[in-house]
Amino acid sequence: MPELPEVEVTRLSFADRIAGARVLEVRLGKPLRWPLGCDPEHLTGHTVGAVRRRGKYLLLDLLLDHQPGGLLVMHLGMSGSVVFDRYLPPPGRHDHFDLVTSLGTLRLHDPRRFGAVVHAAGQDQGMAHKLLSGLGVEPLGEGFDAGLFHQALKSKKAPIKQVLLAGEVVVGVGNIYASEALFLAGIRPSLRACKISRPRAARLHAAIRQVLAQAVSQGGSTLRDFSNAMGQTGHFQLSAQVYDRAGLPCLSCETPIRRIVQQQRSTYFCPVCQKP
């Protein structure tokens, strides 16, 4: 599943190129996870403004006659990706949304159809509010404070890995990046979040920022078929310290990396470097 770094990399790869484009047509393929929420023709004539990100969602601001015209909320689902280009072939069987603009076509490709594109009148209205209002703080933003992070963890009795994945305390720390950040911070994934001391929470706070920033700089992770809007794949998985390295020696102490399953997700850790 594309996580925060992959979504941010995707945003960076087309945001500047589509800004100011006039919507000429919207083409829909097979139904996605949620309906568009408006008649496709309603979007014709709008202008694309800023392209933002909230957690794992892409937000395309729309303007109509230089006034706010709502926004499109886009989610890549389990296997989705977008491409933006002036010259695209006709939509294939897994291409389910085309935003045809004066500067090119933004296309959502999603073989499993767990992704979605939803129109809302504003970020705090309709389906946008339902999808975005419960998200935690952005880990790469100024609002991600180490002290507040520790305070939030104190109220969570679940294992720290599960708390990170839930997205209520901090948003977008997906499976790969949670394993990597916990290794960097020296924290066992099964440790209850409420048991983490302030100094250890501060180390985890810094590790989350470091891991996610590194992943964005390396184009995200391409485990199967992720690519950005220019068709470029990511390389973070090549520098992973523990993820998908079960049985291989820890790069710090040479102890074999272990794999456990938490809420049906694989977790990787070093039993020596990561203390319970």
| 205 vs 197: CA distance, rounded Å | 12
pLDDT band at 47 (very low <50, low <70, confident <90, very high): very high
Catalytic residue among 2, 139, 159, 189: 2
pLDDT band at 222 (very low <50, low <70, confident <90, very high): low
Q: What is the pLDDT of residues 112-122, one digit of tens each?
A: 999 999 999 99
Catalytic residue among 56, 107, 113, 188: 56
Which residues make beta-bridge pairs with 97? 28, 108
Q: Is the pLDDT of residue 224 over 80?
A: no
| Domains located in the chain, CATH noted | 4-132 (3.20.190.10), 146-269 (1.10.8.50)
This prediction's pTM: 0.91
- For residues 51-66, give the mean pLDDT: 96
**Catalytic: 199?**
no
Q: What is the pLDDT of residues 157-168, one digit of tens each?
A: 999 999 999 999
- For residues 260-266, give the mean pLDDT: 93
Catalytic residue among 3, 6, 8, 180: 3
The stretches of the chain forming alpha helices (DSSP H) are: 4-18, 126-132, 146-153, 160-166, 175-185, 198-217
Higher pLDDT, 227 or 122: 122
**Catalytic: 138?**
no
**Catalytic: 256?**
no
pLDDT band at 225 (very low <50, low <70, confident <90, very high): low
